[in-house]
Amino acid sequence: MRIGFACLAIGVPGTAIRHILKRSADHQTLSDAIRQNIKALDTMIEYCIDQSISLFRISSDIIPFGSSPLNTVDWQKDFADELTRIGSKIREAGIRVTMHPGQYTVLNAVDQAVVRRAVDDLVYHTAFLDSLQTNADSKIILHVGGAYGDKNLALDRFAEQYIRLPGSVCKRLVIENDERLFNVSDLLSLHQKIRVPVVFDTLHHALNHPDTENPLRWLLECRKTWSESDGPQKIHYSQQAVDKRPGSHTQTIQLNTFLDDIRSWPDKLDVMLEVKDKNLSAVKCINAVRPDRTILHLEKEWARYKYEVLEQAPDVYVLIRQLLQDKKSYPVQSFYQAIENAADREVTTGHAVNAAQHVWGYLKVHASEREKRQFENQLKRYQEGRLSNESLKRFLCRVASSQNQPYLDQSLYMRRYC
């Protein structure tokens, strides 16, 4: 089983995608952003290789206004060398990259102008994957679109538009069940007509399924829609956030639930996680399913999580340190269970002060007298409620960056503030 994540990596410097607003989308701005975004993709692929993540969704915003006449940049030509280089890296590492146009790309619309824009968008996504020269398993995932009062007519319109698409687009296009209109049964009937592979989305299925829910049965039905050249069957997996709108994704993947859910699944399967903490959940789930993992992998994870856990729950911090003492063990489930528990705690001022002082312990060695005074002052202001936790961390993050402390730089404690 391969497990991947979508679009952005938390706590990985240099992977942020730049977004451009319409009103500032001039040639130079777009060109600069595209150069930066392609560089960010390269960094992201390096990260995937380093973490042995073999499934990754590239953000549709990698080329801002990629399918709009607003974009006058000939990016395929201007960045051909770099794109080819990244593509080779992806192929050599055996990474499967995919893309997923959003809810606003509606191929089955009644309005022909909307259909034209949807086609343009699919052509753009295809052009991007083609520019990397990835093979046919590198897919573009699309929802069927709107119902317009008659689901069957809407499905027919999708099929009509599909057969008109350029072959290069069809080669990559796959369809996904959605949470409201088109369930997995609708998609399988569409497959009967146009042979397009079906991505099974577990949470959408739970919210919108045919008479029999039985997820495993439908997962296996969808499996039949994937041919050899399409690559391994791909599914989307997410969990429902409690007390949120049905369909809202959780902050992190609950590992125990995930392991329960995958128990009956075939081994040769690509699972794209849809979750707020992105790469963090991907690494977690990979560590839990791969047989080649050792406690060294958990220690590496601990280095990233520890200050965050210390801030949330010092007792859990102590517990995890004990958990990692036996170097012959591999307590992956208890380790992540403890981290998930810590994340559910309220951060108290006392704990936050304790964590900040702990981090400062590393920084003060190389800090200037001025920075030392600043820290004492910031900490005092935080304790008095005159400074936010965020501001305090931002200060620590600035000092850590200036000291070039990658260990702290990449700590999740700092992730939102660097």
Sole binder of DNA in the list 2, 57, 100, 117 (CB under 7 A): 117
How far apart (Å, rounded) are the C-alpha atoms in residues 210 and 188? 11
Among candidate residues 303, 244, 306, the one with its CA nearest the CA of residue 276: 244
Site string for DNA, 142-181 (x = CB under 7 A): ---xxxx--------------------------------x
Token output for 281 = 């959940």
Answer yes or no whether residue 394 interacts with DNA by CB under 7 A. yes
Cβ at position 64, least distance to DNA in Å: 9
CA 273 to chain centre: 7
The residue (of 51 and 378) whose beta carbon lies closer to DNA is: 378
Quick one: 145 or 231, whose CB is closer to DNA? 145
What DSSP character marks residue 12?
-
Amino acid letter for position 80: A
Q: Scanning residues 310 to 369, which ones bind DNA (CB under 7 A)?
A: none
Interface mask toward DNA for 61-80; x: CB under 7 A: -------x------------
Q: Least separation, in Å, of the C-beta of 188 and DNA?
A: 20
Output 147 or 194, the one with its CB closest to DNA.
147
Which of these, 393, 402, 397, lies nearest to 368 by C-alpha position? Answer: 402
Per CB under 7 A, does 17 bind DNA? yes
# residues contacting DNA (CB under 7 A): 37
Stretch that binds DNA, among 141-149, 314-322, 340-348, 357-365 (CB under 7 A): 141-149
Q: Which is nearer to DNA, 348 or 388 (CB)?
A: 388
d(CA 386, CA 388): 7
- Report the alpha-carbon distance of residue 253 to residue 192 in Å, rounded: 34
CA distances from 240 to 203, 244, 245, 284 (A): 7, 8, 9, 18
Question: Candidates 73-81, 101-109, 186-194, 293-301 — which segment interacts with DNA by CB under 7 A?
Answer: 101-109
Which of 1, 49, 93, 114 lies at the binding interface for DNA (CB under 7 A)? 114
- Point out which span in 11-19, 49-57, 326-334, 363-371 binds DNA (CB under 7 A): 11-19
Q: How many CB atoms lie within 10 A of CB 25?
A: 17
Give least dist CB 342 to DNA, A: 22
Segment interacting with DNA (CB under 7 A) among 18-26, 160-168, 184-192, 332-340: 18-26
- H or E segment to which residue 55 belongs: strand 55-58
The pair of structure tokens assigned to 245 is 């709108």
Separation between Cα atoms, residue 283 and residue 285, nearest integer Å: 6
Q: Please report how close the Cβ of residue 24 comes to DNA at its closest, in angstroms.
A: 3
Which among 243, 239, 234, 265 is positioned nearest to 251, based on CA atoms?
239
Strand partners for 234: 270
Is 8 a binder of DNA (CB under 7 A)?
yes
If one asks whether residue 240 binds DNA (CB under 7 A), the answer comes out as no
Smallest gap from Cβ 379 to DNA, in A, equals 14
Query: Quick check: 115 and 109 in contact, CB under 8 A?
Result: yes
| Identified binder of DNA from the candidate list 276, 290, 358, 381, rule CB under 7 A | 276
3-state secondary structure 179-199: CCCCCHHHHHHHHHHHCCCEE
- In contact, 279 and 53? CB cutoff 8 Å: yes
Least distance (Å) between residue 14 CB and DNA: 13
Residue ranges binding DNA (CB under 7 A) = 7-8, 16-24, 68, 102-106, 109-111, 114, 117, 145-148, 181, 245, 247-249, 276, 388, 390-391, 394-395
